[in-house]
């Protein structure tokens, strides 16, 4: 019978240094056991923390592995005195049998009509029946203090970033994208309210939404390592991390990641700039130009014949065997997620500067492309923290790869992939070609996300061309997934019914819609020309 492990302890004042190490513990445990842990604090006592691991088939082996990693990460130095307790069900619940036919074959946990629609690759709008008010934020395992810590770290390290990357000198190390009005595109996509683009496709250094989170996690690892080893002290300027003596120390360590491309660019470029050995495990659907760009920055690219999940698993296993390796785990990483979440506060400042009001009478709708889910979940969490119930967030996924929709619609945290419902996960939107969603992201989004819509590849190319032709902006196909959002919400029966149910139908003329464009500024000109030619031909049909 499967068991659940609860580990609780009282944290010291050094909680900021502790959290990254616990996140690393859980990431390595997930990599070697397949069991994703969660971290909580008591509602009435923020100093009492608890790790939770569910569905453990071999408790003794799992406890031994956790103990090995606890020692390897020197968590005893925090004097936590953890208390471990194992629990098993009183009786075998139906949930354990759920998801299996009587002959033992896998069976998806989706409503039959939805499963058939998704399997047929029919574009659809799924509306989240578990959506709650912003009050649900209080029960989540990550919140404003975590996002504030990421925001502070990026500010603390801004002089370091300006020193490492000439393109950041003018912004004094700030990695941020503009908020753009797109009047011509608005006429075609969203005639009511105001349409804006959050242009993360133009983020400096990495050229995608992954820049903030990826760079933040590498900075957190570098800073934590340097403080732990005594190479710097807390009061030191973080620009010291670029000094030759510290770079030489960093060169003994490897920073690795598994990626379809954009996260690999962010992690690889940042890690190499600090002097780490940088290794990116890339899936078969990663674009050749992304591999070439990484290699030009001194990053080792390991190519895998399989898809995203296999590249991630291989990277995890290799890093887990090396005590001097740090693996950035897109599926379980809190440092990535909180780095992404920083964007929301900056967006709030941009809207305020532009005189754009956001409140319950002036609703904000944000549409985000979704792959494994870490980046959009981080942004969505930040948006809910910044705007509460005035913001409504929707994710966009390719019809071949709706992994977050499948996971959320299943109603639980048992992993479910697009392959389980007969999809092939083959799409031109390489950054979104993911078979199974991050369970961490799914857990956070279950009460916060308004819905998910799916988009066929042809529509991506049409919108890529439309944006180029009408606004002179060039993005990659993945970044165009969000463009269908306003149409789904305002033109479909399901969307209009949802607006009416939530008291929003009469407020759409006062609404602001933001399309989050997630990548494209580093795409070679020849690739952009190919995207636009295909989109133009499709629009001419």
**pLDDT tens for each residue of the chain, 541 residues long:** 678 899 988 887 656 668 778 888 888 888 778 788 888 877 777 788 889 988 888 888 899 989 988 888 888 887 788 889 998 876 433 333 334 333 344 444 788 899 999 999 999 999 999 999 999 999 998 999 999 999 999 999 999 999 999 999 999 999 999 999 999 999 989 989 999 999 999 999 999 999 999 999 999 999 999 999 999 999 999 999 999 999 999 999 999 998 878 899 999 999 999 999 999 998 777 788 888 999 999 999 998 887 777 778 888 888 888 889 999 988 888 999 999 999 999 999 999 999 999 999 999 999 999 999 999 999 999 999 999 999 999 999 999 999 999 999 998 767 889 999 999 999 999 889 999 999 999 999 999 999 999 999 999 999 999 999 999 999 999 999 999 999 999 999 999 999 999 999 999 999 999 999 999 999 999 999 999 999 999 999 8
Residue 101 pLDDT: 36
Residue 320 pLDDT: 84
Residue 505 pLDDT: 97
Tokens of 382: 């930040």
Q: CA geometry: angle at 421 spanning 257 and 131, to 5°?
A: 75
Q: Could you tell me how many residues make up the chain? A: 541
Tokens of 5: 């492990």
Q: Which residues of 110-145 are buried (b: 16+ CB within 10 A; e: fewer)?
A: beeebbebbeebeebbbbbeebeeeeebeebbbbee
Tokens of 297: 């920055």
Tokens 């929709």, residue located: 405
Residue 337 pLDDT: 96
Residue 78 pLDDT: 79
Residue 197 pLDDT: 98
Tokens 């030191």, residue located: 236
In angstroms, the CA 432 to CA 425 distance is 9
* Backbone torsions φ then ψ of 414, nearest 5 degrees: -75, 125
In angstroms, the CA 346 to CA 338 distance is 13
């Amino acid at each position: 019978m499967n068991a659940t492990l609860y580990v609780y302890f009282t944290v010291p004042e050094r909680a900021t240094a502790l959290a990254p190490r616990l996140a690393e513990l859980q990431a390595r445990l997930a990599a070697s056991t397949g069991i994703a842990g969660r971290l909580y604090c008591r509602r009435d006592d923020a100093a009492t923390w608890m790790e939770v691991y569910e569905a453990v088939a071999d408790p003794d082996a799992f406890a031994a592995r956790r103990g090995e990693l606890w020692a390897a990460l020197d968590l005893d130095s925090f004097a936590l005195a953890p208390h471990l307790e194992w629990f098993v069900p009183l009786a075998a619940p139906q949930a354990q049998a759920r998801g299996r036919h009587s002959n033992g074959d896998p069976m998806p946990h989706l409503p039959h009509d939805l499963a058939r629609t998704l399997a047929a690759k029919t574009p659809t709008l799924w509306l989240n029946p578990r959506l709650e008010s912003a009050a649900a934020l209080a029960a989540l395992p990550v919140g404003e203090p975590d996002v504030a810590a990421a925001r502070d770290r990026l500010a603390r390290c801004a002089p370091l970033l300006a020193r490492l990357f000439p393109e950041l000198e003018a912004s004094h190390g700030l990695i941020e994208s503009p908020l753009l009005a797109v009047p011509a595109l608005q006429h075609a996509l969203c005639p009511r309210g105001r349409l804006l683009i959050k242009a993360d496709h133009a983020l400096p250094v990495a050229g995608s939404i992954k820049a903030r989170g990826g760079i933040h996690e590498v900075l957190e690892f570098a800073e934590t390592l340097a403080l732990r080893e005594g190479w710097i002290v807390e009061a030191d300027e973080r620009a010291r991390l670029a000094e030759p003596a510290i770079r030489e120390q960093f060169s003994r360590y490897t920073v690795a990641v598994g990626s379809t491309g954009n996260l690999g660019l962010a992690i690889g470029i940042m890690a190499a700039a600090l002097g780490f050995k940088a290794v990116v495990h890339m899936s078969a659907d990663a674009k050749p130009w992304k591999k070439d760009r990484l290699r030009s920055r001194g990053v080792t690219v390991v190519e895998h014949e399989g898809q995203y999940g296999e590249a991630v698993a291989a990277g995890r296993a290799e890093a887990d065997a090396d005590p001097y390796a740090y693996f950035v785990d897109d599926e379980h990483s809190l440092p990535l997620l909180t780095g992404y979440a920083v964007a929301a506060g900056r967006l709030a400042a941009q809207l305020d500067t532009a005189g754009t009001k956001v409140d319950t009478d002036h609703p904000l709708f944000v549409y985000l492309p979704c792959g494994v889910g870490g980046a959009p979940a981080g942004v969505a969490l930040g948006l809910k923290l910044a705007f509460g119930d005035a913001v409504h967030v929707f994710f966009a996924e390719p019809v071949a790869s709706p992994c977050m929709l499948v996971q959320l619609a299943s109603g639980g945290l048992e992993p479910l992939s697009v392959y389980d419902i007969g999809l092939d996960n083959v799409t031109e939107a390489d950054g979104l070609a993911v078979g199974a969603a991050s369970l961490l992201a799914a857990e956070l989004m279950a009460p916060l996300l308004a819905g998910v819509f799916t988009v066929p590849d042809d529509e991506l190319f049409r919108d890529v061309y439309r944006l180029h032709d009408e606004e002179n902006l060039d993005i990659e196909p993945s970044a165009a997934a969000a463009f269908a959002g306003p149409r789904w919400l305002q033109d479909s029966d399901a969307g209009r019914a949802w607006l009416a149910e939530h008291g929003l139908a009469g407020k759409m003329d006062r609404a602001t819609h933001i399309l989050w464009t997630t990548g494209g500024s580093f795409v070679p000109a020849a690739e952009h020309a190919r995207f636009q030619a295909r989109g133009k031909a499709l629009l001419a049909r």
